[in-house]
Each structure stands twice: as C-alpha cells, then as structure tokens.
C-alpha cells in the first residue's frame, strides 16, 4: 500500500467480520487509545484511523493493511 493516504481517502481492509470499506479520518503518529485499545503508533510506524461505512466505528490500521478503494 502506498504510504500517501490522507484524510478522506476511501479505503478497504480485511477485518474479523470480513471485508470492510470506509475512509481515512487521520494519520496517527503518537500512541493513543481507541475504544480502550492501545494504538502503538509513532512517527516511524504511523497508523491510520479509519471509519467503517457499515458500522460507523473507528479503528486503527497500519498502511500495509489498507487498500485504496
């Protein structure tokens, strides 16, 4: 996956519930928590906060897990 994702980009990823589609909310470069789960993001290993079109929930994913939709 290209590392050039930006806010608003439509993306797809595989999740425990199957294939999901949504959009990038933001690039996360500092550690944070989402729904009580630790997100170990850093400047050297950023993650992307994505919002699912189906559930409306946010989750963090590495760029390698996301595909532009």
Q: Say yes or no to pLDDT of 3 above 80.
A: no
Structure-token pair, residue 56: 């409306």
Cα separation of 49 and 33, whole Å?
11
Q: What 3-state DSSP class applies to 67?
A: strand
Cα separation of 31 and 47, whole Å?
10
Structure-token pair, residue 65: 């897990």
Cα separation of 12 and 30, whole Å?
23
> pTM of the prediction?
0.88
pLDDT digits (tens, 9 = 90+) for 21-67: 999 999 999 999 998 999 999 999 999 999 999 999 999 999 999 99
Each domain of the chain, given as residue ranges in start order, spans 10-68
């Amino acid at each position: 996956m290209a590392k050039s994702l930006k806010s608003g980009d439509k993306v797809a990823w595989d999740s425990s519930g199957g294939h999901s589609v949504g959009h990038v909310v933001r690039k996360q470069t500092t550690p944070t928590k989402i729904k009580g789960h630790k997100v170990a993001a850093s400047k050297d290993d950023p993650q992307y906060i994505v919002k699912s079109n189906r559930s409306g929930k946010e989750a963090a994913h590495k760029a390698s897990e996301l595909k532009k939709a």
